[in-house]
Amino acid sequence: MSLFITFEGPEGSGKSTQIERLATRLTAAGVNHTLTREPGGTPLGAQVRSVLLDHDLEIHPLSEFLLYSASRAQLVRDVIRPALQAGEVVICDRYADSSAAYQGAGRGLDPRFVGEVTWEATGGLRPHITVLLDLDPELGLQRAAARGQPDRLERADLSFHRRVRQGFLNIAAAEPERFLVLDGERAAHELEHFIWDAVAATLTALGQQIGVR
C-alpha cells in the first residue's frame, strides 16, 4: 500500500498547517509516512530553493521553471519514489501542479511545454490525491506578509497571483477525481477534518488498517 498526496494553493493558503495536522493524524493511526516539499527535500533542492526565493534576484520565467523542474526530478528519484516503493504515504508540499499554475498560468509559459518537461522530470509520477486550498490572493498575500519579509514570489503583483489562483482552479476542474478543493478561509480544524476524511477513506479502500484517529 502506498499513497501520494500533494498540497497546493496560492500564497498564504494554509498548506503547512494542514500538512502538519495530517501528519499528526497519520502517526496516531499508525501509518508510515514521509513529508517533503518543493522546491527542497534534497540537498540539491534546498540549494535551488534558496535561489528561487531570493528576493534580490531577477529570474526569467523559463529559467525559473527549469530550476523547479531540476529540483523536482531529484526529489522524485531520491525521496518520493523510494518511499512509495516502501509502501509509505508521501505528503508533498507543492508538486507539478504548482509549475502549471505559477509558471504556466502565472508567467505565461506554454502549458504544453510545461507538461512535457514535467513528465520527463517526474517520470510521469502523479499524485493520488491533491488537496487544493483555494484562497483569494489579496487575503493570502496579507497572511504571507504577516509571516515576515516576503520572498521573490510573494512580491509579484496581484494580477500574477490572480492568474495563479485561476490556474489552480482550472487544473482542478479538469481532474475532479484527483482534487479535493477546499475553501482556505474555513477554520483550520474544519479543513483538517475534511482532509482526514478523504485520506482515511482512500487508505481504507487500499486495505490499510486505520488505528486511533
Residues at the annotated binding site? 9-16
Binding residues for ATP: 9-16
What does the block give as the cell for 212? 486511533
What is the distance between the terminal CA atoms of the chain, rounded to a whole angstrom? 19
Contact between residue 195 and residue 89 where contact means Cβ atoms under 8 Å apart: no
Contact between residue 24 and residue 213 where contact means Cβ atoms under 8 Å apart: no
* Contacting residues for 56 by C-beta, under 8 A, at least 6 apart: none
Strands 89-93 and 129-134, sheet pairing: unpaired
How many other β-carbons are positioned within 10 Å of the β-carbon of residue 96?
Answer: 27
Before 150, cis peptide (omega within 30)? no
How many residues belong to the chain?
213
3-state secondary structure of 6: strand
